[in-house]
Chains A and B, each alone.
Chain A
Amino acid sequence: MLLKSASFALIVVALTACAFAQNDSAIVVLGQGAAPTQVLVVDPPNDGGEKLDVSWTPTAQPGFDILKYEVLAAEAAEGPFKVLAEGDHKMTSSVITSGNGLRLEHDHPYYVKVVAIDSTSLAVPDSTNPDSVVVRFEKRLRRSESAVAGPFVPRAAWFNMNRLNILLLVLAFYFAVMFMVRRAKAGANIQFRRIAGIDAIDEAIGRATELGKPVMYVPGTQNIENIQTIASIQLLTSVAAKAANYDIPIIVPLNRAFMVTVAEEAVKQGFLNAGRPDAYMRDNIRYLSDEQFAFTSGTTGIMMREKTAAHFFLGAFYAESLILSETGFVAGAIQIAGTANTHQLPFFVVACDYTLIGEEYFATSALVTRDVEMMGTLKATDYMKAFIIACLLASLVLEMLGVQFLRSWFQVI
């Protein structure tokens, strides 16, 4: 008995010493009955301090048929405890995060306990006859709780070292972009193949000019934080400049209130670039609605009533893509679409005269604007694609030989 107690005390002292020796605090607590005998809580590295790694040792005592374990946490030792994880009888560890009304935040103390739930038979006296000595056995669930462990304070890591591969790839891409931009600025001849979409833009504006009808430009249905919207706004300036050159109005229906400011700025700049600031009409930049289908019905209404002759759907689109492009088709307009939302591309492909598929859309934006930075970026993305193709070809052989270096290097945890 003395030896057993001494062993436990030794473990407690050793683990407490570990807790003080490092940031990831750890402690051992002892439980009773079916309760786990040791609960070890560790602050996992490489996270934002919103997780705790809890492990425990199931009871060594025989006779307990554990059904499941629950991991509970609270902000105070006395509770209230909230269940943050649960699992079957085989579970001996779990990573707990916010949930069930309890938010796990960095630099806040938390208390943890583990509950083992087993089934037991309980003798129940016959309630209908108090004098009877006969009892019946009922199956009841029994919760055996470990002692409360804590406090544990999760810490936020400055760096997630598991994502070093992403940092390296982003840096490699960054330096490739910088190198190509510098070359472009130095006057190096950066060549790209001709993209048919660029000709299609000119053709569409030319058609609208012939008919003397306005052009409609929809820069997607997402806000300016979407990278496709940013590319679309840059393209909008060029399209607006072309429209200004031919002296035809450009209507821009918008799905986001904030986009009004951005679109006004882009169209105004386009008219300025064309030397026609006087032709800029603020009323043609129209905020319709943030609601997806209200915006769609408003836009289709403009198509039918103002008889727009050329439609540009360039940006991030969702379910409205088919309705917009079909209505435009029915209205007889020439239509150019471009999006990186792959699920919407089929609708544009069937209903539009020309569709810029995925990255073609970004490339068109760069080639139309002839922006040195964008062209440098486009060249760098080509190098990145060549690198990916090389990785794909290498993996065909390496994976076959059982070498999983590439695969594990690209793993994101």
Chain B
Amino acid sequence: MEFFWISIAGLCTVAILSFLYSDNPLYKVAEHFFVGIAAGYVVCAEFYNVFLPNLWRPLTSGSDYWLIIPLILGIALFTRFSDELGWISRWPMSVIIGTYSGLAVIGFASGDMVLQVQASLIPVFEPATISTFSSEPSVLNFLQIFRNPLFTLGLICVLFYFFFSVEHKGGLRHIATTGTTLLMIGFGAGYGYTVMTRIALLFDRFYFLFVEWLKIAA
């Protein structure tokens, strides 16, 4: 029985990989299975893991009557199906968007801005790097001295690229171009790193196909 399920998984993998050749009936079957099963699974998972424990059980046991508010808002969303009452569904949407936007402000302000700014406030030269170079002169130690000024100037160039109030013309164009170049270097490194991890995932699939399923490789 186990081999049967492994074979199903193997056939589905081959069907999905067949998309590399072209869009074909095999891929269509696998795709529709995948989308359908995933949609059905999510409905069940949300019902048993979210709706029942977080709303229905506390409400019916009488432990938290405040939950009547999200219940009403949730039901109001279903008015979407009615042409006459569809406007009611805008109320829960407003509550959700407003609440999450408000919550996100603090998270972004602390995590995405203040913390990053704080980490970028560095001295132009680290005295430790100068003393390291004087005690152990080498190219790497020499370059380490310029790490901070390069980092800060690079950061300013990148920030300037995202400055929308000023046209990037004349001398300012060079600052913005430097910022874009630095961004592309960063993207290149990120791309290479992620492709490597994707190749590892591909190997994992091949291992499943040839070793665990077909058993034609050790």
Partner-B contacts on A (CB < 8 A): 163, 165-166, 169-170, 173, 191-195, 224-227, 230, 257-258, 261-262, 264-265, 287-291, 293-295, 297-298, 300-301, 304-305, 322, 342-343, 345-347, 349-350, 357-360, 363, 378-379, 382, 385-386, 388-389, 391-393, 395-397, 399-400, 406-407, 410-412
Nearest CB in chain A to that of B156: its residue:
A389
Q: How far is the CB of A352 from chain B (nearest CB, A)?
A: 12
Interface set of B (CB-CB < 8 Å, partner A): 16, 19, 23, 27-28, 30-31, 34-35, 37-39, 41-42, 77, 80, 89-90, 93, 96-97, 99-101, 103-106, 108-110, 113-115, 117-118, 120-125, 148-149, 152, 155-156, 159-160, 162-168, 183-184, 186-188, 190-191, 194, 198
What chain B residues lie within 8 Å of A399 (beta carbons)?
121-124
Instruction: Give 20 pairs: A residue, B residue, CB < 8 Å, sorted on A.
Output: A165-B114, A194-B167, A225-B104, A227-B104, A261-B93, A291-B34, A293-B34, A294-B35, A294-B39, A301-B27, A345-B190, A346-B188, A349-B184, A357-B183, A392-B156, A395-B122, A407-B121, A410-B121, A412-B110, A412-B115
Q: Are A407 and B118 also in contact (CB < 8 A) when A392-B152, A412-B110 are?
A: yes
B123, A385: Cβ atoms under 8 Å?
no
Pair B35/A193 contact, Cβ less than 8 Å = no
From known contacts A297-B34, A395-B123, infer whether A163 and B110 are also in contact, taking CB-CB under 8 Å. yes
CB distance from B31 to the nearest CB of A (A): 5
Interface of A is mostly: helix
For A295, the chain B residues whose CB sits under 8 A away are: 35, 38
Q: Check B100 against A392 for contact (C-beta < 8 Å).
A: no
Q: Is the CB of A301 within 8 A of B101?
A: no
Question: What's the minimum C-beta distance from A337 to chain B, rounded to whole angstroms?
Answer: 13
Residues in B neighbouring A350, C-beta threshold 8 A: 191
Tell me the complex Cα distance, A288–B37, Å.
11
Smallest CB gap from B105: residue in A = A170
Known interface pairs A346-B190, A392-B155, A411-B118; A291-B96 also in contact (CB < 8 Å): no
A382-B23 in contact (CB<8A): no
In the assembled complex, the CB of A390 is this many whole angstroms from the nearest CB of chain B, namely 10
Bound together, the chains give a CA A261 to CA B86 distance in angstroms of 10
> At the interface, is chain B mostly helix, strand, loop or mixed?
helix
Task: Determine if B118 and A297 form an interchain contact, defined as CB atoms under 8 angstroms apart.
Answer: no
Q: Which of A226, A258, A357, A378 contacts B164, CB < 8 Å? A: A378
A193 and B184: CB pair below 8 A?
no
Q: Quick one: given A166-B106, A261-B89, A358-B162, are A289 and B38 in contact (CB under 8 Å)?
A: yes
B163 to chain A, nearest CB (A): 6
A193-B167, A289-B42 given as contacts; is B162 within 8 A of A169 (CB)? no
Contacts of B104 in A (CB 8 A): 225-227
Docked Cα-Cα span, A191 to B164, in Å, equals 9
What residues on B are CB-neighbors of A191 within 8 Å? 165
- Contact status B165-A379, CB under 8 Å: yes
Given contact pairs A192-B165, A346-B190, A378-B164, a sample of 18 additional A-B residue pairs in the complex whose CB atoms are under 8 Å apart: A169-B109, A225-B96, A225-B103, A258-B96, A261-B80, A265-B90, A288-B35, A291-B41, A297-B31, A297-B35, A301-B27, A322-B198, A346-B187, A350-B191, A396-B122, A399-B124, A400-B125, A410-B121
User: How far does the Cβ of B61 sit from chain A's closest Cβ, in whole Å?
Assistant: 19
Report yes or no: B110 in contact with A388, Cβ–Cβ below 8 A.
no
Q: List, in ascending order, chain A residues with CB within 8 A of B114's CB.
A: 165-166, 169, 410, 412
| Cβ–Cβ < 8 Å partners of A357 in chain B | 183
Least Cβ–Cβ distance between A327 and chain B, in angstroms: 8
List, in ascending order, chain B residues with CB within 8 A of A406's CB. 121
Which of chain B's residues have a CB closer than 8 A to the CB of A287?
39
Docked pose: A397 CA to B113 CA in angstroms:
21
- Decide if B38 touches A290 in the complex (CB within 8 Å): yes
Give Cα A294–Cα B28 distance, bound, in whole angstroms.
12
User: Residue on B with the closest CB to A406?
Assistant: B121
Minimum CB–CB distance for B108 against chain A, Å: 7
Contact at A294–B34, with CB atoms within 8 Å? yes
B121 touches A391 (CB 8 A): yes
Given contacts A294-B35, A396-B123, contact A345 B187 (CB under 8 A): yes
| B108 neighbours in A (Cβ, 8 Å) | 227
Of chain A, the residue at the smallest CB distance from B176 is A193
- Chain B neighbourhood of A226, CB < 8 A: 100, 104
CB < 8 Å: which of A291, A305, A360, A388 contacts B23? Answer: A305
Shortest beta-carbon distance from A310 to chain B in Å: 19
- Shortest Cβ distance from residue A372 to the other chain B in the assembled complex, whole angstroms: 16
B68 to chain A, nearest CB (A): 20
Residues from chain A with Cβ under 8 Å of B187 in the complex:
345-346, 349
The 7 closest A-B pairs by CB, nearest first: A225-B100, A399-B123, A291-B38, A294-B38, A346-B191, A410-B118, A395-B121
Q: In whole angstroms, what is the CA distance A392 to B42 when docked? A: 47
Is B120 in contact with A392, judged by CB distance below 8 angstroms?
yes
Q: Which residues of B sit under 8 angstroms from A257, Cβ to Cβ? A: 42
The reply to whether A400 and B159 form a contact with Cβ atoms under 8 Å apart is: no
Residues of B within 8 Å of A225, CB to CB, are 96-97, 99-101, 103-104
* B106 / chain A contacts, CB cutoff of 8 Å: 166, 170
Task: List residues of chain A with CB within 8 A of the CB of B16.
Answer: 297
Assess the A301–B168 pair: CB atoms within 8 A: no
Q: Are B38 and A388 in contact (CB under 8 A)?
A: no
